[in-house]
């Protein structure tokens, strides 16, 4: 699978909501937890969670996440990779 990271966030709840949203819409995603501490605290990039999807699903996945953020389904604490917001 040729996947591209599209979204970065810093808490498991947001990551789980996004994974569920994508799965519900038939989009397989890869989740990478970059946490390197045994303590449950946010320490910037060391607590980053990364979500990647197939190249051919990038636009659809971004649209779904944007809609979910706008609707308040997920927080807007995370950000899209390679762009602000």
Sequence spans of domains, the chain: 3-80
What number does CATH give the domain 3-80? Answer: 3.30.70.790
* Angstrom distance (rounded) from CA 12 to CA 21: 14
Band of pLDDT at residue 42, cut at 50, 70 and 90? low
Band of pLDDT at residue 82, cut at 50, 70 and 90? confident
Contact, 74 vs 18, CB < 8 A?
Answer: yes
Q: What is the pLDDT of residue 85?
A: 45
Query: pTM for the complete prediction?
Result: 0.83
Query: Which of these, 4, 14, 1, lies nearest to 52 by C-alpha position?
Result: 4
Give the three-state DSSP class for 26: coil
Band of pLDDT at residue 36, cut at 50, 70 and 90? confident
Q: Is 5 exposed, middle or buried (0-12, 13-18, 19+ CB in 10 A)?
A: middle
């Amino acid at each position: 699978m040729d996947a591209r990271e599209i979204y970065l966030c810093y808490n498991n709840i947001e990551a789980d909501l996004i994974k569920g949203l994508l799965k519900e819409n038939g989009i397989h995603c890869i989740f990478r937890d970059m946490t390197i501490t045994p303590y449950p605290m946010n320490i910037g990039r060391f607590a980053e969670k990364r979500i990647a999807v197939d190249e051919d699903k990038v636009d659809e996945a971004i649209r779904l996440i944007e809609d979910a953020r706008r609707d308040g389904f997920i927080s807007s604490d995370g950000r899209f990779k390679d762009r602000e917001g």
